[in-house]
Chains A and B, each alone.
Chain A
Amino acid sequence: MKIVRRDLTRNGPGSVKMIPEEADDLWIAYNLIVAGDSVMAVTVRKVMREAASGGRDAERVKLKLEINVESVEYDKEGAVLRIRGKNCLENEHVKIGAFHTLEIDVNRAFVLRKDIWDSLALDVIHQASDPNASADLAVVLMQEGLCHILLIGKSITITRARIETSIPRKHGPAVAGYDKALTKFFENILLAFLKHVDFNVVRCAVIASPGFTKDQFHKHLMLEAERRQLRSVIENKSRIILVHTTSGYKHSLREVLDAPNVMNMIKDTKAAQEVRGLKDFFSMLSNDPERACYGPKHVEVAHERMAIQTLLITDELFRSSDVATRKKYVNLVDSIKASGGTVHIFSSMHVSGEQLAQLTGIAAILRFPLPDLDDIEM
């Protein structure tokens, strides 16, 4: 994300002009923009004009609009942000108060004006402008008959492809059928791999599976690369890592990120930190369940007693349109930071974030056990 101009006061009003450079940045923008802010960008609007003869003429006009945000939508697959709101800037074609939807995609500049720039928003801006620390991992997660190709970014995980076939068993007269089906399966995965994995962007590619499927695929990949002279694969041979997981389903992504050789590559990235944080929480929950709690009520009670050491929270909670709730959570985060605790904000687009979201979206590891939490209704 390129921050072009910054003009704001802490906990006060201000504006920032930024240009998203990749899909991740759009996600960050999605988290930043809430109802009540105003966004200005160049957009296209269909304008009706009265022609001399009386017929109406529709013309597409490019104009700069500033709208008061009412709702924001993020299209994951298309990587575009849709902001809907009422126009608030005087304009010759569009009346004030007319509804408009701004579509922000990559490399389109926009100016965000907020009433209050709280610490959280400032944090996000800061992180966004950080040039390094982009996880960018391509993972081919497979098992016999099923494959997912995922791209793990700084704050989002996108499923680029999902391939599923039925592979017959390999006994009796149909042994040949098994080989043929398997080869076809690998061929499909190879095509998808070539299409979605760009080694210029991605740091490394991980092939993960239970059993020996990954070795078989790796062998096939190398053979085909030699045969078809696929330069991108041949040059980046060393950047392909093999990892063992227990299944080919998406939730095994956690195990991929946990693997030591992958962990080294992405140590400093958000995704790895999130996985670690969640793992800590679960281990605490199993070893000493009274020192771990989840759910907004429990966490609040724990906070009142100054018991929270680590807070795990998803960014979804900050996206609520209700200003009061958002403020509450921001205050919670601020006070925990002030009292010396740590806060992990999980991106709900990552696997671990999804899992935390299932767990109500907010969880905490406590400094000391609180046995009476169990009695409080969740």
Chain B
Amino acid sequence: MPRKVNYGVDYDDDYEDDYNDDYDYDYDEEVEENGITAKTMPAKEVRSAKVWRCPICTYDNEDSMSACDICGILRNPLVKSNIQINDVAAPFKFNVPSPDDLVSSGLQSLKMKSKDNQRDTNIPVELELSAKDQESTSASVTRQRGNGVNEKDYAPTSGSIPGMPHRNVNTEAMSSKTGKVEKTIERKTASISDFTPETWMIPETVDGELSQLNLAIVGHVDSGKSTLSGRLLHLSGRISQKLMHKYEKEAKQQGKGSFAYAWALDESAEERERGITMTVGVAFFTSKKYHIVLLDSPGHRDFVPNMISGATQADAAILVVDASMGSFEAGIDATGGQTREHAQLIRSFGVDQIIVLVNKMDVVGYSKERFDFVKQKLGTFLRTCGFKESSISWVPASVMENQNLVANSSDSRLSWYRGPFLMDAIDSLQLPARDYSKPLQIPICDVKSQSQSQVSACGKLETGAIRPGLKVLVMPSKEITTVRSLERDSQPCSIARAGDNVTVNLQGIEGNRVTAGSVICHPDYPVQVACQLEMKILVLEISTPIVIGSQLEFHIHHAKEAAKIVKILSLLDPKAGKVTKKSPRCLLSKQNAMVEVALQGPVCVEEYSSCRALGRVFLRASGRTIGLGVVTQIIKTEN
């Protein structure tokens, strides 16, 4: 699983390293044990779990719930469903842990869940199923409320739960409360470990069916990103010759003949007139191995927030560099080059695979020296960002002359290059692990209001799966709505799973309740909303130090908000993560610190340990990215 690769010196890594170190040894065997023993459970479990229909709101609740999820009405014949499931669960009933132990184990469960993420999809499923029994036996006793707010330090959990007689029970109890326990707003809390992914959610690995890869195209302004995207779409057959001719004609009319290919992505009048990309252009095409979603990002300084919004969805990236004299130097310039900023941002999104396309080689005559120069300079920089040598591919090409893109170069001047052409390099990318078995979460990147009470929202599924007819919850406006239909690549589709980029048509919700930055999630497992949170940040190169009261822009997945530093808690040692100084006066470049930030409005966040995509934060001020961070704790949910 590519995502498990040890990253290197990066703030991102420290985080994961912590987890890896603490839990690798202890948890391993126990998980296996449970996995095996739990295997017999699934079949019986699923069969006996029935649903009952609430008389008031007609919502189908699970059998184990004694009150309706939506309206809170108690189930009329208050059936102790426990008993029934108890029978089925008989082989697993060890000494039932007391409520106190459940709660205290739950407080540690956060770490367990992070381990879960890195496991195979099978084992968490089984664990969760076994946990469900455990849960239901004590369903009436405690509904876990421990969550990140009570987060303790990351300590190995195995031996620390008091009063656990049997080691097996110990882990059983811990695993039963495994995972992030969400604090529901108006509804009952449900432990994430309860979540049983339905069969349609886990994809069968069908040979021959292409999986989806989200590819972001980033780079300095005017390096050729949109043109590259247009070319790829044209060469893969997505854009017909006729349409291409139309673009060329129109572009020449406006005096922008060279932008003909870029016009395939830049569709608005503003973008075409100015010859730049302003928002992320999404396009679909197919290669030999993958369904590729192209996210063509703007390269202009002012539009970096849009680029952040687009690149959130990326699994891998193509960094386009202009090889011509002067342009490359401008891009990699420390003070303002977007090549630099984009590379840093991409890396902090967790993308570890990058293809560097050295474009406009025709301008420099396909010279090997220039290519090597670019490779060497940019290579050092990328390594400092945290990219591994092995996950960077270097491809020289010329988009205008269609050299080395979909076939080996025909130009003799490029004969010194022996590596793969671009499409091959794309095909050699590895897909990151997808979280199919976690509850649904879609951060919304774009919203269109179709008509009264009908809205379409697009985004990439981070976890879980969705299909038409499901009831979903939109946070932070807390509205329940139904999925009318799904669309992928302008074609209706029946199921979308983690990693897919889809447009969800929602029914029964007002246009102003859903905005870019909202998150669609499972009604039982709502995403947390925060107005004040604690984060661990890495400060980039800054000109003015960060002090208490500094006002910044807070970017997370597709949401952005004005924010203020409320407290600077401590300085951290970059290598070990230990606190070096408490309450420093200010933060300077390249320091790691824990800070507390207050937001102007509520934003959907999750702690980084439970969901990566919803826990990554970018702090910007005065037009530059000044900090990268991860959410460690949510302090206040309402203003």
Chain A interface residues toward B at CB < 8 A: 166, 168-175, 177-179, 210-212, 216, 246-247, 249-251, 255, 282-283, 285-286, 289, 294, 355, 357-360, 374, 378
Contact = CB atoms under 8 A, between A and B. Distances in A.
Given A170-B267, A251-B562, A286-B545, A246 B551 contact: no
A357 B550 CA distance: 11
The 9 closest A-B pairs by CB, nearest first: A358-B549, A246-B623, A251-B551, A249-B562, A210-B302, A170-B268, A211-B302, A169-B446, A166-B515
Interface of B: 265, 267-268, 270-271, 274, 278-282, 300, 302-303, 305, 445-449, 490, 511-512, 515-516, 542-545, 547-551, 553, 562, 564, 583, 585-586, 588, 600, 620-624
Contact of B447 (A166, A247, A289): A166
A336 B553 CA distance: 37
A249 B551 contact: yes
B586 A289 contact: yes
Contact of A211 (B303, B449, B490, B515): B303
Contacts of B446: 168-169
A174 B505 CA distance: 14
Given A170-B278, A175-B268, A282-B544, 6 more contacts: A169-B280, A170-B267, A171-B281, A210-B303, A355-B549, A360-B548
Contacts of B279: 169-171
A170 B551 CA distance: 30
Contact of B545 (A172, A174, A177, A285): A285
B591 to A, nearest CB: 13
B447 A168 contact: yes
B281 to A, nearest CB: 6
A286 B544 contact: yes
Contacts of A178: 268
Nearest to A357: B549
B448 A177 contact: yes
Nearest to B583: A378
A250 B601 CA distance: 14
A355 B449 CA distance: 38
6 contacts: A166-B515, A168-B449, A246-B621, A285-B545, A286-B588, A355-B550
B585 to A, nearest CB: 7
Contacts of A357: 549
Contacts of A210: 302-303, 623
Contacts of A286: 542-545, 588
Nearest to A166: B515
A289 B583 CA distance: 16
Nearest to A143: B305
A207 to B, nearest CB: 15
Given A166-B512, A246-B622, A246-B623, A359 B551 contact: no
Contacts of A166: 447, 511-512, 515-516
Given A168-B446, A168-B448, A246-B622, A374 B515 contact: no
A250 B544 CA distance: 18
B455 to A, nearest CB: 10
A171 B600 CA distance: 30
B553 A212 contact: no
Contacts of B267: 170-172, 175
A212 B544 contact: no
B445 to A, nearest CB: 8
A175 B272 CA distance: 13
Contact of B548 (A246, A247, A282, A359): A359
Contact of B553 (A171, A247, A355, A360): A247
Contacts of A175: 267-268
B549 A282 contact: no
B589 to A, nearest CB: 9
Contacts of A250: 551, 562
Contacts of B447: 166, 168
Of A168, A169, A255, the most chain B CB neighbours within 10 A belong to A169
Nearest to A211: B302
B544 A283 contact: yes
A171 B278 CA distance: 11
A193 to B, nearest CB: 21
A360 B305 CA distance: 31
Nearest to A210: B302
Contacts of B622: 246, 255
Contacts of B620: 246-247
Given A166-B515, A166-B516, A168-B447, A212 B270 contact: yes
A220 B250 CA distance: 25
A152 B588 CA distance: 32
Contacts of B280: 169
Nearest to A298: B585
A246 B553 CA distance: 10
Contacts of A177: 448-449
Nearest to A216: B270
A130 B562 CA distance: 36
Contacts of B445: 169
B157 to A, nearest CB: 37
A173 B544 CA distance: 44
Contacts of B265: 171
A355 B448 CA distance: 37
Contacts of A211: 278, 300, 302-303
Contact of A285 (B511, B512, B586): B586
Contacts of B551: 249-251, 355
Of A175, A216, A249, A250, the most chain B CB neighbours within 10 A belong to A249
A68 B600 CA distance: 39
Of A172, A175, A285, the most chain B CB neighbours within 10 A belong to A172
Contacts of B448: 168, 174, 177
A172 B490 contact: yes
A210 B278 CA distance: 11
A246 B515 contact: no
A210 B624 CA distance: 12
A285 B516 contact: no
Contacts of B585: 289, 294, 374, 378
Nearest to A283: B544
Contact of B274 (A212, A249, A283, A358): A212
Contacts of A170: 267-268, 271, 278-279
A285 B547 contact: yes
A357 B553 CA distance: 19
Contacts of B303: 210-211
Contact of A359 (B515, B516, B549): B549
Contacts of A360: 548
Contacts of A168: 446-449
A282 B562 CA distance: 20
Of B445, B547, B548, the most chain A CB neighbours within 10 A belong to B547
Contact of B302 (A246, A255, A294, A358): A246
A138 to B, nearest CB: 21
A152 B563 CA distance: 22
Contact of A358 (B490, B515, B548): B548
Of B281, B551, B564, B620, the most chain A CB neighbours within 10 A belong to B551
A246 B620 CA distance: 10
A374 B440 CA distance: 49
Contacts of A172: 267, 282, 490
A286 B547 CA distance: 11
Nearest to A209: B302
B553 A249 contact: yes
A345 B351 CA distance: 48
Contacts of B278: 170, 211-212
Contacts of B543: 286
A172 B270 CA distance: 15
B489 to A, nearest CB: 10
A368 to B, nearest CB: 19
A355 to B, nearest CB: 6
B601 to A, nearest CB: 9
Nearest to B305: A247
Nearest to B298: A211
Nearest to A377: B583
Contacts of B588: 286
